[in-house]
Amino acid sequence: MYTQSFSVPDGSDDAKSAGLKAVPKALSAQDAALQAQFDARIDADGRIEPREWMPEAYRKTLVRQISQHAHSEIVGMLPEGNWISRAPSLKRKAILIAKVQDEGGHGLYLYSAAETLGTSRDQMLDALHTGKAKYSSIFNYPTLNWADVGVVGWLVDGAAIMNQVPLCRCSYGPYARAMVRVCKEESFHQRQGYEALLVMMQGTAEQKTMVQDAVNRWWWKCLAMFGPPDADSPNSAQGMRWGIKRISNDDLRQKFVDATVPQAKVLGVTLPDPDLKWNEARQAHDYGQIDWDEFWATVNGNGPCNKERLGARVKAWNDGAWVREAALAHAKKQQARQMKEAA
């Protein structure tokens, strides 16, 4: 599904590992040459590949961002998975299962991309399960009615696509290629979500109320997904310099608002913002203030579902340990048997 458009420092001990503010170590002559080569490649809009030299801070930032993205895909299966057994028709249930299956695949692509940077999946999962690594704040909100599933497709995945399309041109090759694959499938998610809502909006008064209620609860949280305002986003400049980030948080957010307003109109819902209006001079929509305190509370573990989400992940991991071990033991036995036969 989806990434937070910016990379949140993981644990407290990790805050300094980004190394952005640290005094740079004196570079040896060889390192300086490599650094110059790297900078030239970035300036020429070239791709960096796994076995090439890269600054340590670039590597760490990417590991953090890509693994956060992967974790978001995996945790993001939970709020939607919540409705699989209660989907209102067999068709909607099959669609939802296919979508959640895609999210699992997206997580896999992204973990693989992160692994090319020299981390292992078990290390990343361990960071997630011990609360050291973040995932997108949006998945800490509950899905309270069936319309939420459609709204998550339309708005949450819609915001994700806004974020991810520029990432297809990210300077790190494996991440960019993973995003190309993800974006293709993501557009299925957004369209199916929107279509599910369109059907409900042609239904009974209760169904329409459900859709509006879901939009009211998710709208502001989706705007916050683009990350803090540019002025409060000190890491963005570095991300831009490195070609990881292509468009600023505020610019992406504006694009999202401008794209979504006409979609809401077609759907027949209102967006819960009295300050939302077209600005002729800017040729863009003005919108109200985002509640950043709530956003940061959620990012820092105090949203409505943080404990539940992480708890579900940790339980699945712990309860599944014996199955993973059994698969490995079986593989070893098969291998030993083959060796014996070959001998």
The residue ranges that bind other proteins (CB under 8 A) are 49, 51-53, 101-102, 104-105, 108-109, 112, 115, 118-123, 178, 181, 324-325, 327-328, 330-331, 334-335
| Nearer to other proteins (CB atom), residue 38 or residue 295 | 38
Interatomic CA distance for residues 50 and 116, integer angstroms: 6
Helices and strands, number each (H, E), in the chain: 14, 2
Structure tokens at 205: 């008064």
The radius of gyration of the chain's CA atoms, rounded to the nearest angstrom, is: 22
Q: How far is the CB of 18 from other proteins (least distance, A)?
A: 18
DSSP letter, residue 297: H
Interatomic CA distance for residues 222 and 157, integer angstroms: 9
Q: How far is the CB of 279 from other proteins (least distance, A)?
A: 41
| Nearer to other proteins (CB atom), residue 106 or residue 134 | 106
3-class secondary structure per residue, 114-125: HHCCCCCHHHHH
Q: How far is the CB of 159 from other proteins (least distance, A)?
A: 24
| Nearer to other proteins (CB atom), residue 323 or residue 343 | 323
Q: How far is the CB of 277 from other proteins (least distance, A)?
A: 41
Q: How far is the CB of 150 from other proteins (least distance, A)?
A: 22
| Nearer to other proteins (CB atom), residue 122 or residue 293 | 122
Q: How far is the CB of 335 from other proteins (least distance, A)?
A: 7
| Nearer to other proteins (CB atom), residue 39 or residue 52 | 52
| Nearer to other proteins (CB atom), residue 54 or residue 161 | 54
Q: 206 and 217 in contact (C-beta within 8 Å)? A: no
* Burial (CB count within 10 angstroms: exposed 0-12, middle 13-18, buried 19+), residue 222: buried
Q: 162 and 252 in contact (C-beta within 8 Å)? A: yes
Question: CA angle, 255 as apex, 253 and 256 as ends, to 5°?
Answer: 65
